[in-house]
Amino acid sequence: MNLQETYTSLGLSDLEYDRILELLGRAPNYLELSLFSVMWSEHCGYKNSRPLLGRFPKEGARVLQGPGENAGVIEVGEGWALAFKMESHNHPSAVEPYEGAATGVGGIIRDVLAMGARPVALLNSLRFGPLESERNRYLFREVVRGIGGYGNAVGVPTVGGEVEFAPAYSGNPLVNAMCVGLIRSDDVVRARAEVGEGNLVVLFGSKTGRDGIHGATFASDELNEGSEEKRPNVQVGDPFAGKMLIECSLKLLERGLLVALQDLGAAGIASSASEMAAKGGVGIEIDAGLVPLREAGMEPWEVVISESQERMLAVVEPEKADEVLKIAERYELVAAIVGRVADHGELRVLHEGEQIGSVPAEHLADAPVYERDLVEPAYFEEARKLDLSEIPRPEDYETALLTMLAHPNLCSRRSVYEQYDSEVGADTVVRPGADAAVMRIKGTKIGFAVATDCRGRHCYLDPRGGGAAAVAEAYRNLSCVGAEPVALTDCLNFGSPEKPDAYYQLAECVEGMAQACEVFGTPVVSGNVSLYNETELGAIFPTPTVGMVGVLEDAGRHAKPGLQREGDALVLVGDFRPSLAGSEYLEIVHGRISGAPRKPDLQVEKAVSDAVREAIAAGIVETAHDLSGGGLAVALAEMAISGGIGAEARLLPGGRQDVALFGEAGGCILVAVPEGRLGELEEALGGVRHSAIGRTGGDRLVVAGLLDVGLDELRTAHERDLFERHAPEGGHFG
């Protein structure tokens, strides 16, 4: 293999290799080239997305730590803070779904742990191709097994998430994992190595093997027929070691034994050491010969870029090193002093005391930046066309509703989340299945809520509007349980940034998200970018997943989506202007993805959510559910099924009935309140538009003249098991 073939095989371009020559003033050896390869990958270096990410607001009254560390941190009150982040494990999950998903969970747990926080909640956001495909069913089943297998064993509850299916994700599933950790505000840890006379670098956790070598580079390539050959690039997780790593790390921090702490994820020791050195303005020397190995014959370059799981890197003062090693051994972890902090500013790799590679840490941590061309996608013109006169009204509205409730995008996720332990730790107040999960903080009245949201179809048809809508939906979902939305993390899943239309999608989604964050006052405090999500068949839908966190002053005063009493008034809050553009109904019933979805009115969205949240805090509203996929009819059915109580409703006058029933309208929330409290609700809502549309009771869902369906029939359609689905005749579920 000649020189160009060597660096090209490592994912480096000609221009990047020339820059390396310029920075070093010499040719790099293979080890040094490997360091640049992983650190300058899109996965680690964000070289295509960094110019756009600066658009996000990052500061807020509650923000203790914004982007740039392992996770963002917000203050929640009474001396408590939350650390949280979301990351992707898409490509690994495409070729090895169980381990890809499991190690995605393990990796995001360690990001939060590296801030000094105890992981207390996990969420996920998943996308797959249609379940008619045996391959897609396999990926779906194994990813869910991997998430449950790791999260359940490590002892962190999985409390929420979302799953969607679309042809665009066939062959390239999305597996985004989110973790929230709890920490005292004064105890936040930063991954910054500090110069101290003889400060040592300690590696502790599992032994190092060959799994995950060049995994960061693999995650920055498009998937193709040869991707299956990259199974060795997928790490292997050990949740029991992960549990010991959590307890050991927290014990070491509690005893004040660590100067800095960093998890080992993408690019392994190379990434963690160079980032700590660059942030601290120092150098770090690593002796690969001192790293405990589980495989014989590993080359030094393999050792420093291995992505073996369940490992942490710490900077320790010399007099405390022995105690650190003893505590790690007590937790049945392997620990070793593998290097030291120096003042030369370089990441130096040694082997048995002899230097075999050296690169300035700041060069590794500063990948080149590309500002790509943007071109509006050619498909827009045709895809955005929607003539309602060409869309026939349903012959039977009840059949249409049942078909939608049974579809994989709208049916119950119970068969998924029942595989996850959502209550370990006994702090889960609102379990999976609601608009957002609610957790308590022991010893206080305070709670927090968290949700993940994105609508890829909306972003496909209108990237800027879809990006804003993703943030708005998360804001709305937190408000529906009574939480004040505070900040968010994100995972930006897109195709190749080297294609101008894909880069346009990324840039527009970021702009829409940023605009929404500014209006809602929800800064972006952490996140992840996953690009090159495409196969020979094309790119995924643009999917900017949002993970938002909110705070409840009183965790006991929250709302749920299920109807709770007979005789309650049903009130639709918001400016109800439903549209079929980009709707679930249009795709499920009519087989079309088309139209131009209405752009979110962010000020109205905020006013509606804030008003409902205040009504929940005042104890007026105990039942709330947002209008999302499937529109008003599906929201009513979900509330009735969840509470086991029927309802009778009327449609607001004007327009087509199928649009009113199944059209989608952002910024709307359906609430149920006792008739005697309607006056209080109206006063709480103030000038926010709202309409009483019916009342709860009985065992049927009735919408005058259109629907009259028993709860049992609704439940049978909605509660179908996603894992028992077959490829149906005719190609559609229902």
What are the distances in angstroms from CA 146 to CA 69, 656, 713? 27, 45, 33
Sheet bearing 158-165, strands edge to edge: 63-65, 72-77, 80-88, 174-184, 118-128, 158-165
Mean per-residue pLDDT, 397-420: 96
| Measured distance CA(614)–CA(623) in Å, rounded | 13
CA torsion 573-577-583-585 (nearest 10°) is: 80
pLDDT of amino acid 214: 60
Is it the case that residue 733 has pLDDT exceeding 50? no
Q: Which residue from 338, 247, 238 is spatially nearest to 292, judged by alpha carbons? A: 338
Phi and psi torsions of 668, nearest 5°: -120, 140
What pLDDT is stored for residue 729 in this prediction?
36
pTM: 0.94
Task: Provide the CB-side half-sphere exposure for 242 (13 A, CA).
Answer: 30
- How high is the pLDDT of residue 85? 98
- Measured between alpha carbons, how far is 732 from 604 in angstroms, rounded to an integer? 36
Q: What is the pLDDT of residue 219?
A: 47
Q: Are strands 174-184 and 283-287 parallel, antiparallel or unpaired?
A: unpaired
Mapped to the 3 state alphabet, what secondary structure does 506-572 carry? HHHHHHHHHHHHHHHCCCEEEEEEECCCEECCEECCCEEEEEEEEEECCCCCCCECCCCCCCEEEEE
Averaged pLDDT score across all residues of the chain = 93
Amino acid identity at 367: A
* pLDDT for the residue numbered 232: 56
Among 558, 548, 555, which Cα is nearest to 451's? 548
Model confidence pLDDT, tens digit, residues 689-711: 999 999 999 999 999 889 999 99
On the question of pLDDT at 426 being above 50, the answer is yes
What is the pLDDT confidence band of residue 577, given thresholds at 50, 70 and 90?
Answer: very high
Query: What are the C-alpha distances in Å from 151 to residues 95, 104, 124, 303?
Result: 21, 10, 11, 27
Token pair, residue 393, equals 């009204």
Distances (CA, A) of 633 to 32, 264, 410, 480, 584: 59, 47, 12, 18, 12
Of the listed ranges 36-50, 557-571, 657-671, the least confidently predicted one is: 36-50
Q: Do domains 1-39+189-367 and 377-411+560-734 have the same CATH topology?
A: yes
Q: Which segment of 270-279, 477-486, 619-628 scores lowest on mean pLDDT?
A: 270-279
Buried-state track 545-558, b at ≥16 Cβ within 10 A, e below 16: bbbbbbbbeebeeb
Strand order in the sheet with 568-573: 623-626, 669-674, 568-573, 690-696, 647-649, 700-703, 707-710
| Residue 549 pLDDT | 98
pLDDT, tens digit, 9 for 90 and up, residues 44-82: 889 999 999 999 999 999 999 999 899 999 999 999 999
pLDDT tens digit sequence for 190-227: 766 676 768 999 999 999 998 877 654 444 455 655 54
Q: Is the pLDDT of residue 731 over 80?
A: no
Residues with catalytic roles: 43, 89
User: What 3-state DSSP class applies to 400?
Assistant: helix
Q: What's the per-residue H, E or C state across 255-313?
A: CCCCCEEEECCCCHHHHHHHHHHHHHCCEEEEEHHHCCECCCCCCHHHHHHCCCCCEEE
CA gap 136, 492 in Å, rounded: 22
Domain segments of the chain as ranges: 1-39+189-367, 377-411+560-734
CATH number for region 377-411+560-734: 3.90.650.10
Distance (Å, rounded) from C-alpha 432 to C-alpha 162?
A: 10
Tell me: the pLDDT tens digits for 273-319?
998 898 888 999 999 999 999 999 999 999 999 999 999 999 999 99
| Whether the predicted pLDDT of 2 surpasses 90 | no
- Among candidates 68, 55, 100, 64, which has minimal Cα distance to 83? 64
User: Contact at 8 Å (CB) between 83 and 117?
Assistant: yes
Q: Is the pLDDT of residue 726 over 80?
A: no
Read off the DSSP letter of residue 497. Answer: T
CATH class in words for 1-39+189-367: alpha beta
* Gap between the Cα atoms of 34 and 28, Å rounded: 9
Question: For residue 133, how many other CB atoms are within 10 A of its CB?
Answer: 17
* Between residues 229 and 266, the one the model is more confident about: 266
**Dihedral sign from CA coordinates of 279, 284, 288, 289:** negative
**Average pLDDT of the residues in 4-13:** 89
Q: 649-685 pLDDT, tens per residue?
A: 999 888 899 999 999 988 999 999 999 999 999 999 9
Instruction: Identify the bridge partners of residue 319 per DSSP, sorted by sequence position.
Output: none
